Structure 1
């Protein structure tokens, strides 16, 4: 049953339901988004994203800052690269990583702001 059918059988807000059904997330897009958020739902990957929100770093620097092995950082960066969360550039024998675009940074900042609001209301 779609929202247009639902609005006929339960016409509480038919105009709002009709508008909402036009903007409804497709099952395929919802699945892709869930996969994206699921792959980001890892503390080490989030810590890497947090560091890269501050600027561009090489694997060794990331490993040092997060107290992780370089191989563990490289593994997480491969996943983030596959998700199109990070990009990289090579300089000599070093590879420097950065957040891919402003969308990733905006998403990161929105989650941080949400959590800060949440913790502020808990302390009041």
Structure 2
């Protein structure tokens, strides 16, 4: 192995056909990669991650989230719209109030996996 700008790279040019075929045969469709990339872009925003964390703890209305994050209701509503479009949050109406929660258990697992990764020493 040789180092190339801080990255270890092979010093040989041998192609491992069996490995290549294995990966090629299991590659996802392009649309799946695009959708996954879009999901991670949505999750890549600091404010949206904080909203997801808050909703991970409790179902909340926009007013509650705005107070927790010390942001305007308008700014929170904008972020919730993005999260809703990405199917990360859902809402329910109760009279004049609208309560948001995480869309499903997948979001909990995704958040916890990311949190576990960043907290790992």
| TM-score, structure 1 as length reference | 0.81
Q: Verify: 1:17 aligned to 2:20, yes or no.
A: yes
**How far does residue 26 in structure 1 lie from its aligned partner after superposition?**
2.0
Quick check: which one's helix share is greater?
Answer: 1
Unmatched 5+ stretches in structure 2: 1-13
Cα separation, 2, equivalents of 1:45 and 1:92: 26
Cα separation, 1, equivalents of 2:17 and 2:56: 42
Partner of 1:3: none
Q: Verify: 1:83 aligned to 2:75, yes or no.
A: no
**How far does residue 65 in structure 1 lie from its aligned partner after superposition?**
0.6
**How far does residue 31 in structure 1 lie from its aligned partner after superposition?**
1.2
| TM-score, structure 2 as length reference | 0.83
SS of alignment partner, residue 38 of structure 1: helix
Superposed structure 1 runs of 4+ greater than 3 Å apart: none
SS of alignment partner, residue 84 of structure 1: coil
Which deviations, in whole Å up to 9, do the C-alpha atoms of 1:78-102 show, x marking residues without a partner? 1100000000000011100000001
Which deviations, in whole Å up to 9, do the C-alpha atoms of 1:87-123 show, x marking residues without a partner? 0000011100000001111000000000000xx3xxx
SS of alignment partner, residue 53 of structure 1: helix
Q: Please tell me the root mean square deviation across aligned C-alpha atoms, in Å.
A: 1.4
SS of alignment partner, residue 25 of structure 1: coil
Which deviations, in whole Å up to 9, do the C-alpha atoms of 1:4-38 show, x marking residues without a partner? xxxxxx66351x43332222122221111111111
Quick check: which one's strand share is greater?
Answer: 2
Q: Verify: 1:66 aligned to 2:69, yes or no.
A: yes
Q: 2:60 aligns with which of 35, 57, 61?
A: 57
